[in-house]
């Protein structure tokens, strides 16, 4: 029987596992940055280059881009859920709602890949398999708490919040070429629209677009009927 150093073998095995886990994290981090900046059109070769690993390493960890998108999306869902749970723990129900709405609007407006998955893939398994069922109940709890406290209009539902986030994101997408922070203005206008009369109004932190800027934003969109980030 050959002389096998079990201790040395175990150390090497652990090192390989650590290296594999480290590479996988580098790949996910790189994909997350590229998806946020450029959307879902990036290639696995580009992810490998950004992560500083060989493309073979990427394919060993992820069979295709859909698997990588799912891994990145799962991280976003986890963070979104934690943000909702943090908002639910705020002392002031209105402040908690504002905090969650601002987090969601910023995330959608500044992360092209996340927005594309949320808005365009709808019931795709990428979304359904990443713990999305945790987000809905957490957001509903934040909204219900605000409604019980009387700080939002009683007819506002949790699903309205998702629709309003998408609305702000659409405006952000339209105006991004001329003012990437315009989402903050429409976020405040939206919050002022759902608040109860006893709640404090949100200040509008960004100026409205001028007519010239509206025309500039329109001109930046391809074709007569601009599509979303295709």
Give the number of other Cβ atoms within 10 Å of residue 136's Cβ.
Answer: 14
54 and 74 part of one domain: no
pLDDT number for residue 199 = 67
Helix ranges (H only) for the chain are: 6-38, 44-51, 55-61, 65-88, 93-110, 112-120, 125-128, 135-148, 158-175, 183-194, 211-219
pLDDT number for residue 76 = 84
pLDDT number for residue 118 = 66
4 and 30 part of one domain: yes
Q: How far is CA 165 from the centre of its chain?
A: 11
Give the domain-ending residue among 63, 97, 117: 63
Output the domain CATH number for residue 207.
1.10.357.10
- Dihedral of CA atoms 107, 208, 156, 113 in degrees, nearest 10, equals -20
Q: What is the residue whose two structure tokens read 């596992």?
A: 17
30 and 78 part of one domain: no
pLDDT in tens, 39-89: 888 899 999 999 999 989 998 889 888 888 888 888 888 888 899 999 999
pLDDT number for residue 149 = 92
Could you give the number of structural domains in the chain? 2
Average pLDDT over the chain reads 81
Mean pLDDT, rounded, for 194-208: 81
Q: Please, which pLDDT band fits residue 218 given cuts at 50, 70 and 90?
A: confident
Greatest mean pLDDT among 26-35, 170-179, 216-225: 26-35
Q: How far is CA 34 from the centre of its chain?
A: 13
Tell me the C-alpha distance between 191 and 195, whole Å: 6
Report yes or no: 144 and 158 within 8 Å, Cβ to Cβ: yes
Q: What is the residue whose two structure tokens read 């200040």?
A: 203
Q: Give a yes or no: residue 224 inside a domain.
A: no
């Amino acid at each position: 029987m050959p002389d096998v150093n079990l201790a040395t073998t175990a150390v090497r095995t652990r090192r390989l596992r650590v290296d594999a886990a480290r590479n996988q994290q580098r790949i996910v981090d790189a994909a997350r940055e590229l998806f946020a900046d450029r959307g879902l059109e990036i290639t696995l070769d580009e992810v490998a280059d950004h992560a500083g690993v060989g493309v073979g390493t990427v394919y060993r960890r992820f069979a295709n881009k859909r698997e990588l998108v799912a891994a990145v999306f799962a991280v976003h869902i986890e963070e979104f859920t934690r943000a909702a749970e943090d908002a639910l723990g705020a002392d002031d129900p209105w402040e908690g709602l504002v905090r969650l709405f601002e987090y969601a609007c910023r995330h959608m407006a500044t992360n092209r890949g996340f927005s594309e998955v949320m808005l365009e893939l709808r019931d795709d398994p990428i979304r359904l398999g990443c713990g999305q069922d945790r987000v809905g109940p957490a957001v509903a709890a934040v909204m219900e708490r605000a409604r019980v406290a009387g700080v939002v209009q009683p007819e506002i539902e949790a699903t309205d919040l998702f629709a309003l986030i998408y609305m702000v994101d659409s405006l952000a997408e339209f105006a991004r070429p001329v003012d990437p922070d315009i989402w903050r203005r429409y976020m405040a206008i939206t919050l002022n629209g759902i608040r109860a009369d006893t709640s404090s109004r949100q200040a509008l932190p960004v100026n409205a677009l001028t007519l010239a800027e509206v025309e500039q934003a329109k001109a930046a969109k391809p074709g007569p009927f601009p599509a979303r980030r295709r």
